[in-house]
Amino acid sequence: MKYEIKGEPLPVALVYLEAEEKVMCQKGAMAWMTPNMQMATGTGGIGKAFSKMFSGESMFQNTYTSQGGPGMIAFASSVPGSIIPFDISQGDMIVQKGGYLASDPSVEFSIAFQKKLGAGFFGGEGFIMQRLHGKGIALVEIDGYVVEYDLQPGQQMVIDTGYLAAMTGTCTMDVQTVKGVGNVLFGGEGLFNTVVTGPGKIYLQTMPISQLAGAVAAVIPRS
């Protein structure tokens, strides 16, 4: 699967396929395509369907095949931000709910359970995140711009709720309580922060969709 990404901060991924080559995508992700692209919709099996549903994706996925010759299909981001390609063959990736955009059909999905309940209920990414594994390239949406850090073994990063977009499968995630009653009540940072521990790479996003929605809602006139 060949691709190029254009147009940040309103990005689109252009995927170029050889004859009979396939690409898989999230339901409704297609923006435009050449006429020889044929779509087939399925669930990939009951297990995969429930894994996708609980990790924030649609139970259904679309697979496009380039028939009769080379073809092109475009996948646009649903929010202003970035589209990041991950080579899943190099190792599992854990991504935020709703972050998956498109991939090689050989990329697999499963539920990534956090080890501690605190991380699930208060860490900002939900008790369940989405694990991408198998082989091939996966295209993942990031809300806003992306900042990357390589964490050494035991090295940690404290992250405000919702800013963790993705991490390699070697990282672990926990939660810590914001200390001090005054800080909790007046600091504006909430009760908890997410703590990610290396080794591995983390991808942080500058404008989580929840933050964007809150900022827009605050300036909408109320009748």
CATH label of the domain that carries residue 89: 3.60.160.10
pLDDT computed for residue 142 by the predictor: 94
Give the Cβ contact number of residue 187 at 10 Å: 10
Which has more confidence, 153 or 49? 153
**What is residue 58's predicted lDDT score, i.e. its pLDDT?**
58
Angle, CA 23 vertex, CA 21 and CA 26 arms, to 5°: 165
Residue 192 is predicted with a pLDDT of 72
Residue 82 counted as domain residue:
yes
Q: Under DSSP, is residue 104 helix (H, G, I), strand (E, B) or coil?
A: coil
CB atoms within 10 A of CB 25: 21
pLDDT at 115: 45
pLDDT at site 186? 45
Whole-number pLDDT of residue 133: 96
In this structure, is residue 223 part of a structural domain?
no
Task: Give me the pLDDT at residue 204, please.
Answer: 97
Taking the CA atoms of 86, 94, 37 and 9 in sequence, report the sign of the dihedral they define: negative
Q: Predicted confidence band at 87 (pLDDT cuts at 50, 70, 90)? A: very high
pLDDT (average), residues 131-145 = 95
Contact (CB, 8 A) for 38 and 65: yes
Domain assignment present for 100: yes
Give the integer Cα–Cα distance in Å for 176 and 155.
15
Q: Please report, as a single letter, which amino acid is at residue 103.
A: S
22, with CB counted inside 10 A (0-12, 13-18, 19+), is middle
Top pLDDT among 39 and 178 is at 39
DSSP string, 145-175: -EEEEEEPTT-EEEE-TT-EEEEETT-EEEE
Is 72 inside a domain boundary? yes
Which domain range does residue 31 map to?
Answer: 2-218
pLDDT at 182: 46
pLDDT at res. 167: 96
Angle at 20 between CA 15 and CA 22, to 5 degrees: 45
DSSP codes, 172-221: EEEEEEPPSHHHHHHSSS-SEEEEEESSEEEEEESS-HHHHHHHHHHHSP
CA-angle at 101, arms to 214 and 218, nearest 5° = 5
pTM above 0.85, yes or no: no
Q: Is residue 153 part of a domain?
A: yes
| Each residue's pLDDT tens digit, 114-135 | 544 454 444 444 456 889 999 9
On whether residue 147 sits in a domain, the answer given is yes
pLDDT for the residue 113: 59
| R_g (Cα) of the chain, nearest Å | 19
Please tell me the least confidently modeled range out of 14-18, 37-41, 60-64, 68-72. Answer: 60-64
Domain count of the fold of the chain: 1
What number is the average pLDDT over the span 68-93? Answer: 95
